[in-house]
Amino acid sequence: MRLELQKITKQFPGVLANDRISISVDKGQVLGLLGENGAGKTTLMNILSGLYRPDSGKILIDGKERIFRDPAQAIEAGIGMVHQHFMLVPVFDVTESVVLGNEPTKGPLGSFDRATARAQVVELSKKHGLHVDPDAKIESLPVGVRQRVEILKALYRKSDILVLDEPSAVLTPQETEELFDIIRGLARGGTSVIFITHKLNEVIAVADKITVLRRGAVAGETTPKKATAAKLAEMVVGREVQLTVSRSKSHVAEPILQVKGLNVLNDAGGRAVNDVTFEVRSGEILAVAGVQGNGQTELVEALTGLRLVDSGTVALEKKPLHAGSPREIAMAGVAHIPEDRNRDGMIKGMTVAENYILNTYHLPQYSKNGLLNRKAIAAATEQAVKDFDVRTPSINTDIGSLSGGNQQKVIVAREFSRNVRLVIAAQPTRGLDVGSIEYIHRRIVEQRDAGAAVLIVSTELDEVLALGDRVAVMYEGRIVGILDAKQATRERVGLLMGGITK
Amino acid sequence: MNALKKFAVKVRVPALSISVALLIGALFIVFTDLEVLGGLLSDPIGALSLGIGRAAVAYSALFRGAFGDPATIQKALESNGDILVWARALRPLVESVVASVPLIFVGLGVSVAFRTGIFNIGGAGQFTMGAVGGTLAALFFGAGVTPAPIAILLVMLFGLIGGAAWAFLPGFLKARVGASEVITTIMLNFIAGQFVFFLVSNFEFIQKPPRIQPVSKELSQFVDLPGILPIASLRLDIGIIVALLTAVAVSWFLFRSTRGFELRAAGLNIAAAKYAGMGAATSIITAMLISGAISGLGGALVAVGTVKQLSPGIAGSVGFTAIAIALVGGTRPSGVVATALVFGLLQHGGSLMQVQTGIPIEMLLFIQALVIAFIAAPELTLGILKNPFRRRPRAVSK
């Protein structure tokens, strides 16, 4: 089916989320919808799936206008959504999950016809080349397979238009490749696919047509043949950007961070970090790769004093650190850019200045006799805002009203405002625009060049490969391999991320 | 102009909430009047105008009870400084301010806790225990045992200690074992009331002779808080001054001090406060101590100065009204003071309304509840301002 959105406009209080957006996808075509967070992709898809109604504009399917009052009507019209966060019941098996909501029935009481359902699922997965065991329990399946179940679910509902929202966020590179094969297969079979992502390489790899959104409007259309990553990045950001950080060779010196036999428990009491040993030396960046949820979060929390160390030792320049409080660790020379900036890194409702001194407010230059020295705080913040190019109306603006990139700049400025021996940066560029990513990467490399040790934890393989002088891969709480930058190819790291060591 | 605009933006929701609540209150008066309801079918216009007239009479009484009767004030202006006439003219307004004094104190007290993210419902108990402290100080140190100014300072000090001690317990329990402060503070409210009952009915040196009623001796015999008005019969004492100074102090503490910064950080985002190396347990206990101390100070000054007697019910509904005041005032000291004054006016005006029109003072509780409901839903309230008749697009469920 051909789907066309015409001049869709959606206004939320204070934001024009969609501004006369027109996109179209033909039968059997893959449309790559590219844009940063906040570009309006999600709003557009919520309109398409019937969650929101547009203020103006039309949705046409095969040339006929359709109005969706709720998601059921969108499904009826053949639009299937695969969300970033899966909507599956862990204890159900694959067959049950796929047919849930449209179960085939038999007998006068309408009881569940399991045999028919299973046969339908098997046939469907054969037809589209989506290999899954129809009897496997969802909770036993890896994430990549769960995604296939979600796709099957959409196909089972006779979706002719499949919308995939950031589908590769939770996948290893190999799984992403398999997903692309599936998408190509579906398109050959006549399904129209809308593939939403912020990753430039992915649209080039899989899309037939690319539409770029920027600030709620269509910034341009192109095809993979005509586009290069650099060109797409420019369309996404609205100006020329440098995609790779230029950095000199590292001058590696003495070890700064030494971790030995570290074990850390998660909130449920399970072992999240399992016997981890590594070191980071002055002047090098160790990048920790891994699919989300393999112990990286707990590792960083343990290193920064936010989580108790179960056993093992952590030393900073030979001094033990594993029993330190967050403040002691910070004052010992550790800069921590937290994984979730909204939760840990800043306080919305407080000003830029207050956030800038969030963990140094107690130092004598900012606080005397129990009183804050507002003049000194303002002066230091003004300087930092200038140095780090934070775009804010004033230092007394609520940090919550800044863009993600500027918020992160405030955090980075704050963490680099102290004497830094070790930088621990967890997902330092998550959700940021390409321009801010470039800037923050450069700042981190600067710290390395100034002699700090840098530990970066990231689930973005591109970031790991771009920054790491060495790359460690975490899988199920263990470090399954540490590679030098030269050996760390996309394939090798990808295999390690999936737990394959041989 | 810009400052004025900013101010207008800040007060539009509370101001609108109060106005709309009063309007709905008027409708309520009209449609709960049996005569109006009875006549509604036979003579709707007559019945409605009767009802509207009654509501007008009620609100006029409310107004006169809150601010004073314009006619009496006119008389006072012509009286050439007759103290008695002036006292009559000013009494309603003065009494409204007197009614707002405990509300300011407890409103400020719970605001400090709210700012730290602690839902201290124990304002009443802390106020009561402050009253106990103040009463005991007056009995021990008043009546010439120490010079009057020192006795007054001791009353205030004991009030602070009483309230702080009562708030320490839930704070400590929350910080140490994670006990919900909502539950513990509510329970401690009841215990405080019963503790007063125990004190004033078992001890000769506290209980009022001939020891029949469960109330304390007349405290003005021991310590007399100086009035601040030139007319002695108007009972506005230094309590209001201390209340306003406390508001300034709280504002200064929250926004200028290092401790206040920590408390606000903990209140807005406890995870980030931990990340920044602030001790969560210390913040909780500090906030509760300050919160309780402020309410306790109010209790001592009200017991010794205004009521001049300790009784188990001394807190009345102050605890819950103060929570409303803190929320309406945005937990901002200036907002709390302004809201407490408005609620004081409503409260005192309401008593005259009850006397003159027989509309029960509970009507005011209804209006207060409406105010809180409107404040809690600012979108709804501002929507009223926009255009109540415009049809909104149907809300879409997620």
Q: How confident is the model over A212-260, as pLDDT tens digits?
A: 988 888 988 999 888 888 888 888 877 766 666 666 777 788 999 999 9
Top residue of A10, A339, A358, A374 to mutate, by most chain B CBs within 10 Å, is A358
In terms of Cβ atoms closer than 10 Å to its own Cβ (0-12, 13-18, 19+), residue A361 is buried
Per DSSP, the three-state class of A220 is: strand
pLDDT tier at B280 (50, 70, 90 boundaries)? confident
Backbone φ and ψ of B89, nearest 5°: -70, -40
Kindly indicate the confidence band of residue A90, based on its pLDDT and cuts at 50, 70 and 90: confident
CB contact under 8 A, B272 and A345: yes
Q: Which of A343, A349, A371 sits opposite B258 (nearest CB)?
A: A371
Residue with tokens 């737990």: A499
Look at chain B and count its residues. Answer: 398
* pTM summary value: 0.77
Phi, psi of A474 (to 5 degrees): -105, 135
Mean pLDDT of B214-241: 88
Average pLDDT score over chain B: 88
User: Which residues, numbered 328 to 357 in chain A, qualify as contacts with chain B under a Cβ-Cβ cut-off of 8 Å?
Assistant: 328, 330, 336, 338, 343-350, 354
Contacts of residue B397 in chain A, CB cutoff 8 Å? Answer: 70
Q: Kindly state the average pLDDT of the residues A284-291.
A: 92
Q: What is the mean pLDDT of residues B238-259?
A: 95
Q: Which residues from B are below 8 Å from A414, CB to CB? A: none
Q: 3-class DSSP state for residue A22?
A: strand
Q: Which of A326, A349, A370 sits opposite B274 (nearest CB)?
A: A326
Q: Kindly determine whether residue A347 and residue B268, on different chains, have CB atoms separated by under 8 Å.
A: yes
* Closest chain A residue to B397, measured at CA: A51
Which tens digit of pLDDT belongs to each residue from B318-361?
998 899 899 888 899 999 999 999 999 998 998 888 888 888 88
Phi, psi of B269 (to 5 degrees): -160, 95
Nearest CA in chain B to A364: B258
Would the pLDDT of B393 be above 50? no
pLDDT, position B209? 84
pLDDT tens-digit series, residues A310-334: 999 999 998 998 888 999 999 999 9
Return the residue of B nearest to A50 by Cα: B396
d(CA A419, CA A334): 8
Which residues are registered as beta bridge partners of A453? A422
Chain B, nearest residue to A331 by Cα: B277
B398 in reach of chain A (CB within 8 A): yes
Chain A / chain B CB contacts < 8 angstroms: 70
B contact residues 233-262, partner A, Cβ 8 Å cutoff: 256-259, 261-262
Digit-coded pLDDT (tens) for A173-219 = 788 888 899 899 889 989 999 998 878 888 888 999 999 988 888 98
A52 in contact with B, Cβ within 8 Å: yes
Chain B residues whose CB is inside 8 A of the A305 CB are: 277
> Which whole number is the average pLDDT over A275-283?
94
pLDDT over 70 percentage in chain A: 98
Task: Give the pLDDT of residue A107.
Answer: 82
Amino acid letter for position A280: V
Residue of A371, A377, A411 for testing the chain B interface, max B β-carbons within 10 Å: A371
Mean pLDDT throughout A446-458? Answer: 93
Average pLDDT over residues B80-90: 85
Strand residue runs (E) in B295-341: none
Dihedral of alpha carbons B129, B133, B135, B136, sign: positive
**In 10 A of CB B136, how many CB atoms?**
21
Q: What does the pLDDT read at residue A246?
A: 63
- Residue A243's pLDDT is 63
* A361/B258 Cβ within 8 A: yes
pLDDT given for residue B340 in this prediction: 94
Q: Given A53, A327, A354, which is nearest B277 (Cβ)?
A: A327
A388 to chain B, any CB pair closer than 8 A? The answer is no
8-state DSSP, B49: H
Q: Which residues of B touch A343 (CB under 8 A)?
A: 269, 271-272
A70·B397 Cβ contact <8 A:
yes
Contact B255/B272 with Cβ under 8 angstroms?
no
Measured CA to CA, the distance from residue B88 to residue A307 in angstroms comes to 66
Residue whose tokens read 């470090």: A479
Please check whether residue A268 touches B, CB under 8 A: no
Chain A residues with CB-CB distance to B393 below 8 A: 53
Question: What count of residues does chain A have?
Answer: 502
pLDDT of residue A241: 66
Question: Chain A residues with CB inside 8 Å of B271's CB?
Answer: 343-344
Q: What is the pLDDT of residue B125?
A: 96
How, if at all, do strands A105-106 and A79-82 pair?
unpaired
How high is the pLDDT of residue B31? 86
Contacts with A325 from chain B: Cβ below 8 Å: 277
- Residue A361, pLDDT above cutoff 50: yes
A358 vs B contacts (CB less than 8 Å): 265, 272, 276
**pLDDT in the model for residue B77:** 87
A319 part of contact set with chain B, CB < 8 Å: no
pLDDT at A45: 87
CA distance B241 to chain A (A): 25
A343/B272 touch (CB, cutoff 8 Å), yes or no: yes
pLDDT score at B385:
62
CB-CB neighbors (< 8 A) of A371 in chain B: 256-258
Average pLDDT of span B216-245: 89
pLDDT in tens, B86-139: 888 899 999 999 999 999 999 999 999 999 999 999 999 999 999 999 999 999
* A372 with B261: Cβ contact below 8 A: yes
Smallest CA–CA distance, residue A499 to chain B, in Å, is 31
Average pLDDT over all residues of chain A: 88
Residues in chain A closer than 8 A to B270 (CB atoms):
none
Q: Helix, strand, coil % (nearest 5) of chain B?
A: 75, 0, 25
Over range A96-109, report the average pLDDT.
86
B264 touches chain A (CB under 8 A): yes
Interface residue A306 vs chain B (CB under 8 A): yes
**Whether A32 contacts A206, CB under 8 Å:** yes
> By the 8 A CB rule, do A159 and A80 touch?
yes
Question: Could you report the per-residue pLDDT of B164-204, keeping only the tens digit for each?
Answer: 999 999 999 999 888 999 999 999 999 999 999 999 999 98
**What is residue A32's predicted lDDT score, i.e. its pLDDT?**
92
Nearest to A347 among B258, B272, B398 (CB): B272
Highest mean pLDDT, choosing among A316-330, A472-486, B120-134, B269-283: B120-134
3-state DSSP call for residue A164?
Answer: strand
B145 contacts chain A (CB < 8 A) = no
Q: What whole-number distance in Å separates Cα of residue A94 and Cα of residue A91?
A: 10
